[in-house]
């Protein structure tokens, strides 16, 4: 990816893997020597907050701006008071936005600032999530997100997976869904994520090379629900 300053907005359906993708993107940029700011804007789902990994991210040199009262027993976190810093910094900014239109409406509050930023709004899709199993459903969710946020998507990220049960066939079976979504939206496919543990399986690297047009993006799995951790 380019070393020029980037402003990423990561949106998608609940549970599609936005936060895990956001963290991988932030870590990648930091390892490239970039100054990175990760903004957690998920005020909807308390279980999958990228800010829940703040200590780990900060050890990597990534500045994390989290919702007020995130990861506490307060049921409704609030927007961070220093949110405007993202429009003043010279760092790469990655905004991890809450799911669907309910989570994306917060972007609408900052429409004026965002309209002056050359942002990339990446729509993360997962063929195996409820309500986005078909391309038509995925497009409907995207249109709701765009209406709520008043921002337009610029690209699609295929993050189709079945958590730890993901294998090569999991990715392959999602290809037609992704291609149809790309065709219906007219948006480019920016990346296809693949868990690194899958990429290391026998024969998978050769299959990835045969399907290089998918723009493979190997990811570590950082974000887990509380019940998935030991």
> Per residue in 190-206, pLDDT tens?
999 999 999 999 999 99
Quick one: average pLDDT of 47-76?
70
* Cα–Cα dist 180/183, whole Å: 5
CB atoms within 10 A of CB 197: 14
- Decide which of 3 and 91 is more confident: 91
At residue 224, the pLDDT reads: 75
Report the SS3 class of residue 6: coil
More confident residue, 163 or 50: 163
What is the overall mean pLDDT for the chain?
87
pLDDT band for position 111 (cuts 50, 70, 90): confident
pLDDT of residue 72: 47
> What would the mean pLDDT of 8-27 be, rounded to a whole number?
94
Report percent pLDDT > 70 for the chain: 84
Contact 24, 87 (CB under 8 A): no
Tell me if residue 84 falls in helix, strand or coil: helix
Report pLDDT for 73.
Answer: 46
pLDDT digits (tens, 9 = 90+) for 131-187: 899 999 999 999 999 999 999 999 999 999 998 999 999 999 999 999 999 999 999
pLDDT tens for 66-106 read 865 544 444 445 555 567 778 888 899 999 998 878 878 88
Rounded Cα–Cα distance for residues 8 and 2 (Å): 13
Write the DSSP string, 99-113: SHHHHHHHHHTTHHH
Question: Which of 22, 19, 11 is closest to 153 using CA atoms?
Answer: 11
């Amino acid at each position: 990816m380019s070393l020029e300053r980037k402003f990423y907005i990561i949106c998608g359906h609940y549970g599609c893997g936005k936060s895990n993708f956001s963290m991988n993107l932030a870590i990648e940029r930091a390892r490239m020597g970039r100054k990175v700011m990760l903004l957690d804007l998920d005020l909807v789902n308390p279980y999958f907050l990228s800010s829940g990994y703040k200590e780990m991210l900060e050890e990597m040199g990534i500045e994390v701006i989290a919702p007020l009262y995130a990861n506490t027993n307060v049921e409704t976190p609030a927007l961070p008071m220093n949110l405007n810093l993202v429009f003043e910094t010279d760092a790469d900014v990655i905004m991890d936005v809450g799911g669907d239109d309910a989570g994306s409406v917060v972007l609408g509050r900052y429409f004026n600032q965002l309209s002056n930023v050359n942002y990339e709004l990446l729509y993360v899709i997962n063929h195996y999530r409820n309500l986005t199993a078909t391309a038509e459903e995925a497009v409907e969710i995207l249109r709701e997100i765009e209406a709520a946020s008043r921002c337009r998507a610029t690209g699609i990220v295929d993050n189709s997976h079945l958590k730890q049960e993901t294998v090569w066939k999991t990715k392959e079976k999602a290809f037609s869904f992704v291609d149809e979504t790309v065709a219906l939206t007219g948006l480019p496919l920016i990346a296809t994520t693949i868990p690194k543990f899958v990429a290391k399986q026998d024969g998978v690297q050769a299959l990835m090379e045969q399907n290089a047009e998918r723009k493979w993006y190997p990811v570590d799995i950082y974000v887990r629900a509380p019940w998935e951790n030991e």
